């Protein structure tokens, strides 16, 4: 899957969970930068991403996620 | 003076730590937020907390390594969680805790939790990076009134300052319905710096109280 498609689908998940699109999908985007991305929405976003891509993250992988860029890379690595 | 001993928690203490977390979360009410938000029984929550603690993630309130325990004749009688926010790879504890919960609790329990965000957001307090954070303090009823919480808090802070001498603040959050803890923390030099309130009509269906206080001590 092309990186662009991954980015687009992740963006759709985030918009669907947070019910707004007031953010820019850039590599250095973090939860703190996005209104409403708190601990409850974080769990939901991760769960919806797993469902959407048919993948499962390991706990160690989740705890190493620094920003949107590392999340996209992780998804890419699981789709190879 | 009783012969209390203080030490870092280990994996052998997870059952006691699960009790500590549950009792601290309840804040002297019958409301266990983890149970009400995820629609799980207390037994289920206890079992999931043990699993989360056994993951041995560092740097949040569901970390074995965060807890200092007090023992009497080898038996755990009190504990308090404490860590340096963002110490591990600058990861906020809220995300570490969220990852633990999301990883452990069955996915079908997440249906509708996003709607509960509006209910509790008024009392969610963002933790300040690179500060000493305290969470989940508990003493078994028979040993209360003996200064144990103060002993453990001081030991936790001493340990944090050994790792990070440049720490400037220690912070603790409590529900306003807990004046005994507030008084205990004030005696240790903590003062109330902010008050957070949820005015959502359903807040008390999910949480023990609608007002949380942020208390802080300059180091």
The predicted model scores a pTM of 0.94
In tens, the pLDDT along A25-71 reads 999 999 999 999 999 999 999 999 999 999 999 999 999 999 999 99
Q: Is the Cβ of A33 closer than 8 Å to some Cβ of chain B?
A: no
In tens, the pLDDT along B30-60 reads 999 999 999 999 999 999 999 999 999 999 9
Give the confidence band of B25 by pLDDT, cuts at 50, 70, 90.
very high
A15 part of contact set with chain B, CB < 8 Å: no
Look up the ipTM and state it: 0.94
Compute how many other C-beta atoms are within 10 angstroms of the C-beta atom of residue A66.
13
Average pLDDT, chain B: 95
The conformation of residue B210, written as its DSSP 8-state character, comes to S
pLDDT at B112: 84
Q: ∠ CA(B62), CA(B66), CA(B70), 5° rounding?
A: 110
Structure token digits, residue A9: 């689908």
CB < 8 Å to A43, chain B = 98-99, 101-102, 110, 113
């Amino acid at each position: 899957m092309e990186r662009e498609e991954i980015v687009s689908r992740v963006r759709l998940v985030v918009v669907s969970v947070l019910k707004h699109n007031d953010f820019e999908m850039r590599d250095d985007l973090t939860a703190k930068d996005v209104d409403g991305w708190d601990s409850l929405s974080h769990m939901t976003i991760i769960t919806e991403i797993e469902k959407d891509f048919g993948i499962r993250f390991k706990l160690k992988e989740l705890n190493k996620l620094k920003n949107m860029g590392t999340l996209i890379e992780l998804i890419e690595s699981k789709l190879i | 003076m009783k012969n209390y001993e203080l030490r870092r928690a280990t994996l052998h203490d997870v059952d006691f730590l699960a009790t500590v977390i549950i009792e601290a979360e309840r804040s002297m009410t019958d409301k266990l937020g983890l149970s009400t938000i995820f629609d799980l029984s207390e037994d289920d929550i206890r079992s999931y907390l043990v699993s989360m603690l056994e993951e041995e993630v560092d740097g949040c309130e569901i970390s074995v390594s965060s807890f200092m325990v007090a023992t009497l004749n080898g038996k755990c009688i009190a504990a308090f969680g404490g860590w340096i926010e963002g110490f591990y790879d600058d990861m906020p504890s809220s995300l570490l805790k969220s990852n633990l919960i999301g990883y452990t609790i069955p996915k079908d329990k997440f249906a509708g939790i996003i709607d509960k965000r509006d209910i509790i957001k008024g009392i969610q307090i963002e933790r300040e990076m690179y500060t000493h954070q305290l969470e989940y303090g508990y003493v078994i009823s028979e040993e209360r009134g003996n200064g144990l919480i103060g002993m453990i808090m001081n030991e936790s802070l001493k340990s944090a300052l050994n790792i990070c001498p440049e720490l400037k603040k220690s912070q603790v959050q409590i529900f306003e319905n807990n004046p005994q803890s507030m008084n205990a923390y004030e005696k240790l030099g903590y003062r109330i710096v902010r008050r957070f309130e949820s005015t959502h009509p359903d807040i008390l269906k999910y949480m023990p109280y609608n007002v949380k206080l942020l208390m802080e001590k300059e180091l």
